[in-house]
Amino acid sequence: MLGQMQNHPLLISALITHAERHHADGEIVSRRVEGDIHRTDWATLAKRSRQVANALDADQLPAGTRVATVAWNGYRHMELYFGVSGSQRVLHTLNPRLHPQQLAWIINHAEDTVVCFDTTFTPLIAAVHSKCPTVKRWVALCDADKLPADSGIPNLVSYEGWLAAQSSNYRWPQFDENTASSLCYTSGTTGNPKGVLYSHRSTLLHAYAAALPDSLNLSARDAVLPVVPMFHVNAWGLPYAAAAVGCKLVFPGPAMDGKSIYELIEGEQVSLAAGVPTVWQMLLGHLQAGGLKFSKLNRTVIGGSACPPAMLTTFQDVYGVEVLHAWGMTEMSPLGTACTLKNKQLALDDAGRLKVRLKQGRVVYGVDMKIVDGEGKELPWDGRTYGDLLVRGPWIIDQYFRAEGDSPLVDGWFPTGDVATIDADGFMQITDRSKDVIKSGGEWISSIDVENVAMAHPAVAMAACIGMPHPKWDERPIVVVALKPGAELSRDDMLAFYEGKIAKWQIPDDVVFVQSIPLGATGKMMKVSLREQLKGYVLPGV
Ligand code: AMP
């Protein structure tokens, strides 16, 4: 017997229609590459999204056409989010921080037909366009009179000129909710990047889940600043969840430095900001240097890499900002877990609560997870036993784009490549990426634990722990440290700082000081580059 309820497909166009109808004057504020602050609202954004859809129709692009973006976070990027997917095309967000060769490889693999880019990236597009034969139209995200002159880019139009020719009357098509909506390639630290093709259904279910109180707790009363780029897993789904709840949105554009982010948070009375630890490090540095405070910010979502304890306590104890530590991946849309406490943990003392808050958290309903040993046997949830973390759920990848027939799943579960523990209350803690864990004398050392201690030292700006070959122990950890400007620290003082903070055998064998730690395209430490940089390094006494 079938249920007798209405069967509306879950489509991205319904989100923008809802935001327009119920939150018409809700603000969307963007710092632009032009240097100014631009203001619009949900009603205008919805209208212009329909113009985008009409422009794509005018170009006679069939359903499923890949329309790519190379853009910062801003209102035009949002219009493309809804106009492209809503009209049954696929929004492909490209990461501009990739090497031009890699970018061209991805454009060709995805067979992008249109590429829309911020004018900051004109030199990048000028360098790659001749290698991208599938692209029929290049759109510079600017006013008609600001089109880059003499760029040599063929079939180039300005976004505003492209839209101006179009009506804002458009009826969003209705289609199967399993239709592809957007495409994002993983950062691909080994081998070629892999495409993750989201559907309308997966995106809407993820948006509902992300807004829940024990997830990001979003409401119409929030002003949300996604510092996490819209080219990195759809800015963690925030554009969609924001449309669902009708909150104010604040976009940082290209300015991600501490001063610019602080000014935006204060100027726009941001209540929730989301980003990776490296961004918050710059922001906290700016606050500390200027003796500044926040007036309205009450939550930060920190994910993408482990949140160092020192960052969590500084946000909470010094600035009164609650840290929501979250974990996920491109293959998971990305939200998997968020660390919000149950009553039981709220009753703990400060130290007990901090210990829990540093974990990556509990699954958001919709995601299921387990840890397994090398043979695939499920391991206990005791908070101590660590194993490979596997996940499944309706917004988790089934197969990579154009790799059909080659399933990444193991018995229906997706192996995340992370190593984790899960405690009896379901709080998961990442101990490492499986390829970064240090195997010393049959025991595993978590590189994250070693890094966290170093990062708590006031002289340290960033620290990376990597394993080095050792004849007796297989591997021993070293810590690579970049100091804060003007700070001084000796090797011995760094090592002494570890005493009593982690087990003796987990203390690194050596400290290597560097100017800076290489960061990848999404702000994560690039341990592969670091290992290359340290080629020829030999542990003391070996
Ligand atoms: P990406 O697909 O580029 O977003 O990378 C996903 C990977 O980032 C995960 O598999 C984790 O290794 C790492 N990651 C994401 N969030 C966290 C977190 N809160 N703590 C530790 N690692 C994280």
CA of 372 to the centre of ligand 1 (A): 19
Ligand 1 atom closest to residue 326's alpha carbon, by position in its atom list: 19
pTM: 0.91
Number of domains in the chain: 1
Q: Please compute the mean of the pLDDT values over residues 418-434 and round it to a whole number.
A: 94
- DSSP 8-state class, residue 261: H
pLDDT band at 497 (very low <50, low <70, confident <90, very high): very high
- Cα–Cα distance measured from residue 247 to residue 224, given in angstroms and rounded to the nearest whole number: 7
pLDDT band at 60 (very low <50, low <70, confident <90, very high): very high
Q: Which residues contact 375 (CB under 8 A, 6 or more apart)?
A: none
CA of 235 to the centre of ligand 1 (A): 14
CA of 306 to the centre of ligand 1 (A): 8
429 lines ligand 1 (CB under 6 A): no
Query: What pLDDT is recorded for position 503?
Result: 85
Residue 134 CB coordination number (10 Å)? 14
CA of 430 to the centre of ligand 1 (A): 9
Note whether residue 37 is domain-resident. Answer: no
Query: What pLDDT is recorded for position 59?
Result: 96
Pick the most confident of 182-191, 390-399, 533-542: 390-399
Ligand 1 atom closest to residue 302's alpha carbon, by position in its atom list: 19
Q: Between residues 520 and 18, which one has the greater pLDDT?
A: 18
418 lines ligand 1 (CB under 6 A): yes
93: part of which helix (H) or strand (E)?
strand 90-93
Look at residue 221 and tell me whether its pLDDT is greater than 60.
Answer: yes
Look at residue 190 and tell me whether its pLDDT is greater than 70.
Answer: no
186: annotated active-site residue: yes
Q: Between residues 185 and 432, which one has the greater pLDDT?
A: 185
pLDDT band at 404 (very low <50, low <70, confident <90, very high): confident
Look at residue 175 and tell me whether its pLDDT is greater than 60.
Answer: yes
CA of 61 to the centre of ligand 1 (A): 35
Q: Ligand 1, from 276, 327, 331, 433: best to mutate by most atoms within 8 Å of Cβ?
A: 327
Query: What pLDDT is recorded for position 17?
Result: 98
Note whether residue 173 is domain-resident. Answer: no
Look at residue 191 and tell me whether its pLDDT is greater than 70.
Answer: no
Note whether residue 312 is domain-resident. Answer: no
pLDDT band at 188 (very low <50, low <70, confident <90, very high): low
Q: What end-to-end distance do the CA atoms of the chain give, in Å?
A: 72
pLDDT band at 165 (very low <50, low <70, confident <90, very high): very high
- CATH code: domain of residue 514: 3.30.300.30
Is the peptide bond prior to 133 cis by the omega test (within 30 degrees of 0)? Answer: no
Query: What pLDDT is recorded for position 76?
Result: 98
Query: Which among 17, 65, 186, 300 is annotated as catalytic?
Result: 186
Residue nearest to atom 6 of ligand 1 (CA): 329
Q: Where are the alpha helices (DSSP H) in 71-138?
A: 75-86, 100-110, 122-128
Query: Which among 136, 444, 501, 524 is annotated as catalytic?
Result: 444
Note whether residue 237 is domain-resident. Answer: no
Note whether residue 459 is domain-resident. Answer: yes
Report the chain's mean pLDDT, rounded to a whole number.
95
266: annotated active-site residue: no
Q: Please compute the mean of the pLDDT values over residues 468-475 and round it to a whole number.
A: 89
pLDDT over 90 percentage in the chain: 87
259: annotated active-site residue: no
What number of H helices and E strands is found in the chain? Answer: 17, 25
Note whether residue 348 is domain-resident. Answer: no
Q: 43-81 burial string, b = 16+ CB within 10 Å, else e?
A: ebbbbbbbbbbbbbeeeebeeebbbbbbbbbbbbbbbbb
Look at residue 343 and tell me whether its pLDDT is greater than 70.
Answer: yes
Query: What pLDDT is recorded for position 29?
Result: 98
Q: Please compute the mean of the pLDDT values over residues 76-96 and round it to a whole number.
A: 97
Note whether residue 225 is domain-resident. Answer: no
Q: Which domain holds residue 490?
A: 438-533
Q: Please compute the mean of the pLDDT values over residues 191-203 and round it to a whole number.
A: 93
Query: What pLDDT is recorded for position 441?
Result: 82
Q: Please compute the mean of the pLDDT values over residues 364-368 and round it to a whole number.
A: 97
186 lines ligand 1 (CB under 6 A): yes
Q: Please compute the mean of the pLDDT values over residues 383-395 and round it to a whole number.
A: 96
Q: Can you tell me whether residue 354 is helix, strand or coil? A: helix
CA of 311 to the centre of ligand 1 (A): 17
Query: Which among 331, 359, 416, 527 is annotated as catalytic?
Result: 331
444: annotated active-site residue: yes
Tokens representing 441?
A: 């004398």
Condensed to tens digits (0 to 9), the pLDDT of residues 260-302 reads 999 999 999 999 999 999 899 899 999 999 999 999 999 999 9
User: 201 to each of 11, 12, 216, 231, 400, how far by Cα in Å?
Assistant: 7, 8, 20, 20, 17
Sequence letter at residue 387? G
pLDDT band at 434 (very low <50, low <70, confident <90, very high): confident
> Which of 478, 433, 431, 429 has its CA nearest to residue 454?
478
Query: What pLDDT is recorded for position 67?
Result: 98
Contact 281/275 with Cβ under 8 angstroms?
A: no
The backbone torsions φ and ψ at residue 450, rounded to the nearest 5 degrees and listed phi first, read -65, -40
Ligand 1 atom closest to residue 360's alpha carbon, by position in its atom list: 19
Residue nearest to atom 22 of ligand 1 (CA): 305
Ligand 1 atom closest to residue 303's alpha carbon, by position in its atom list: 19
327 lines ligand 1 (CB under 6 A): yes
Note whether residue 93 is domain-resident. Answer: no
